[in-house]
Structure 1
Amino acid sequence: MTVRILGIDPGSQRTGVGIIDVDAAGRITHVHHQPIVLLVAENFPQRLKVLLDELDALITRFQPQEVAIEKVFMARNPDSALKLGQARGAAMCAAVLRDLPIHEYAAKEIKLAVVGKGGADKVQVQHMMGVLLNLNGKIQADAADALAVAVTHANVRATANRIGISARQVWSRK
């Protein structure tokens, strides 16, 4: 059975989305990726509306069964952290409104899972997503991060299935 996973890298200016399919053997296939540019809106509340509308349209179009989202990290600027949290909340609402299960991963966990080190930079993540998903050309950074979230969840999910426990239990055992 193939499962479609929507990965989300939330942002208050751009939110990355990446969609992959993972089969029963754990093989991953790229489906779609893009940044959702929120700066087209005239104010922050309208950015959140753009995010909700765009994610709803992507969920309708691609029909994912699961969602993986990056956890918020502490930003240097409290205002930025609040806006990031609000964008993340809006993204989660888009999934919850469709009754999709949400799995959360910290940035360091994602980088460790896809690059091999928790302190990897964006260029390394972009490169690994290209290699792992057999994509040509440079992948936009937010979209690459979203693909990395989805790939992380696919790998955690495959490990959980192999050992007979939930994906949440796999990550909690680290």
Structure 2
Amino acid sequence: LAEAEQLLSQHSVIREEIDGYAEDYAKMRMMGDRVTQDQTDPQYLLLRQRLDGLQEGWQELHRMWDNRQAMLSQALNLQMFLRDAKQAELLLNQQENYLAKDEAPTSLEQAETMLKRHGDFLTTMEAGDEKIRAVVVFGNQLCEDGHFAADRIHKKVSNVHERRELNREKANST
């Protein structure tokens, strides 16, 4: 995640450098247009072609920067999603571990303790549910936006969502 943020930051610095040349490019372009306007001499026509090539190069530079910006932003979003999904999976693992315990109370006191513990578990589960739901929503949004890793994200979202629903069913049936 830190590396993705650093790459995005470095890419922004490149944009600032490109923007620093925008005024020079515009002046050169205006001067070239004035010099070659209404000229028919082959030297001026060659200069016009070079100016057109310069414009194409300038536009291509901006397209390349935009494409890389989009790729780096998607990479950052993927890293954030994976970080959040890992945290959600840890919560789900803890829930699954608690729900896998199959203890039968041997006394009234133990039954009351287990009932309180289960109530506390449900409260904790509900608190963690917002984090899990946020991971699912974020992942689905990335997929809808056409993220380059949409298949991978979708699989992870499906897994987290299914485990969440299964845990909720088990917790409410206990």
Q: Given the two structures, how large is their TM-score scaled by the length of structure 2?
A: 0.25
Larger helix percent = 2
Q: Given the two structures, how large is their TM-score scaled by the length of structure 1?
A: 0.25
Which structure's CA Rg is the greater one? Answer: 2
Larger strand percent = 1
Q: Which structure exhibits the higher relative contact order, with contacts defined as CA atoms closer than 8 Å and separated by 6 or more residues?
A: 1
